[in-house]
Amino acid sequence: MCEAPTLDEARRAELRRRLAAATAVLEANKALSDAIEAAQRAIAATHIALISLGAPGLPEEQKPRLRQLLVDAPDALDRILSEHDSLAAARTAVEAVQTDADKFLNGCVALLAEPENAPTLVAESTSIRERFSGAIEALSAPTDRYLAEWGAFNSFCPLE
């Protein structure tokens, strides 16, 4: 009885198939983990870039005071405040997508424990990627306009 083979060819084939499937799952998990880390690094880099951009950060309640200080330059002030507000709105949109992306990335591995969640996660991943790219792209023009207007405003009203 001890000399009888315990693993016949069919059983060996089944074990090879299961081992290959387990290896594929491990490779897919590693690829997902690497993709999540890369996305998180990109989001962090974008966040740092937004911080480095600096302005705008003028609170709404400070605008009347600024108008009082610059009564001789209402048009220049209107232009810079308009571009300030456009840039602030674009930055807020990027920050909102960053928050959504962080939430998604932090929760997607747990959701993938249930295979039926995969189609929803793929769709959400695509949506967040498109929203993030769109928000970053939409930030470019307001940034350029603000910087140009700031140069004109600063030459008119230097802060030195």
pLDDT digits (tens, 9 = 90+) for 66-109: 888 788 878 888 988 899 899 989 999 999 999 999 999 888 88
The SS3 call for residue 160 is: coil
With a cut of 80, say whether residue 46 has pLDDT above it.
yes
Nearest CA to 93 among 132, 130, 40, 143? 132
Of all residues in the chain, the percent with pLDDT exceeding 90 is 27
Residue 45 vs residues 39, 41, 55, 99, 124: alpha-carbon distances, Å:
10, 6, 18, 14, 22
pLDDT band of residue 1 (cuts 50, 70, 90) is very low
In a domain, 40, yes or no: no
Total tally of structural domains belonging to the chain: 1
73: containing domain: 46-156
Task: Answer positive or negative: Cα dihedral of 74, 80, 86, 88.
Answer: negative
In a domain, 18, yes or no: no
In a domain, 98, yes or no: yes
- Global pTM value: 0.73
Question: Which residue is associated with the tokens 């929760």?
Answer: 107
Q: Cα(139)–Cα(133) distance, rounded to whole angstroms?
A: 10
Residue 105 tokens read as 């990335």
In a domain, 73, yes or no: yes
In a domain, 118, yes or no: yes
